[in-house]
Amino acid sequence: MIWLGISILYVCMFSPIIFALISISRNPYIAYTGAGIMGLGLLLETIGDYQKSIFKKENPKLFCNTGLYKWVRCPNYFGEILIWTGNLIVGISFFVGWWQWLIALFGWICIVLIMMGSTKRLEKKQLERYGEDPEFQKYITSVPVLFPWLPIYSLAKVKVYLE
C-alpha cells in the first residue's frame, strides 16, 4: 500500500507536466516562467547539497553555515519546493478541467508538507547535535529555516501532517 500511495503521489505531483504535454498552451509564457522556477529550484538544491557535502568533509563535527546556508538553513529543501512549484506553474496554462487542478494541487500540497516535515526532522536532529553551541543558537535565531527572507526560524511548533 505504501508503494501504491507513493506512486500515486508522484503521478499527482508530476501531473502538470503530463497535462502540458497533452494540451495546447494558451499562454506559453506561464510555462516558461514555471520552467525557469523549476530550473532555479534544481540549481539551489544541487548547490546546497554540494556546499554541505564539501563543508562536512572538512568540518564533520560542525553545522554548515556557509554559502547558501547563510541565507536559509535548508536550501536544498527550499530548492525542492521551488522545483515542484515551478512544475505546478508550468501546468497552469494547460489545465482544462477542475480534476486536473485538484490532482495537481494535491500533489503540490503534499510535497510542500513533506518538505516541511523533513525540515522539522532535520531541525530536531541538529538541535540535539549542536544545541549547546552558542554559535548554533545565534545561527538558528538569525537564519530562516526553510524560506529565505521570511523571518520563520523554526517549524518545531507547526503541525505538518506528512512528517
pLDDT 10s digits, 31-56: 888 889 999 999 999 999 999 999 99
Average pLDDT over residues 73-99: 91
Range of the domain at 60: 2-115
- Higher pLDDT residue, 161 or 147? 147
Q: What is the 3-state secondary structure (H, E, C) of 61-103?
A: CCCCCCHHHHCCCCHHHHHHHHHHHHHHHHHHCCCCCHHHHHH
- DSSP state at residue 122: H
Q: Residue 23 pLDDT > 70, yes or no?
A: no
Q: What is the pLDDT of residue 163?
A: 62
pLDDT band at residue 5 using 50, 70 and 90 as cut-offs = confident
- Cell numbers placing 73: 538553513
Which range has the worst mean pLDDT, 20-29, 31-40, 67-76, 77-86? 20-29
Domain count, the chain: 1
Residue 123, in any domain of the structure: no
Query: Looking at the domain assignment, is residue 132 inside a domain?
Result: no
Within a domain: residue 39? yes
Residue 154 identity? S
Name 120's Cβ contacts closer than 8 Å, sequence gap at least 6.
155, 156, 158, 160, 163
- 30 in a domain, yes or no? yes
The helix (run of H) or strand (run of E) holding residue 114 is helix 98-130
| Residue 84 is assigned to a structural domain of this protein | yes
95, 101 contact by CB (below 8 A): yes
Q: Is the pLDDT of residue 162 over 70?
A: no
Specify if 16 maps to a domain. yes
Distance from C-alpha of 63 to C-alpha of 133, rounded to nearest angstrom:
10
Residue 61 lies in a domain: yes
Buried b (16+ CB within 10 A) or exposed e, 67-106: ebbeebbbbbbbbbbbbbbbbbbbbbbbbeeeebbebbbe
Q: Does 120 reside within a domain?
A: no
Residue range 100-155, pLDDT digits in tens: 999 999 999 999 999 999 999 999 999 999 999 999 999 999 999 999 999 999 99
Mean pLDDT of 8-29: 72
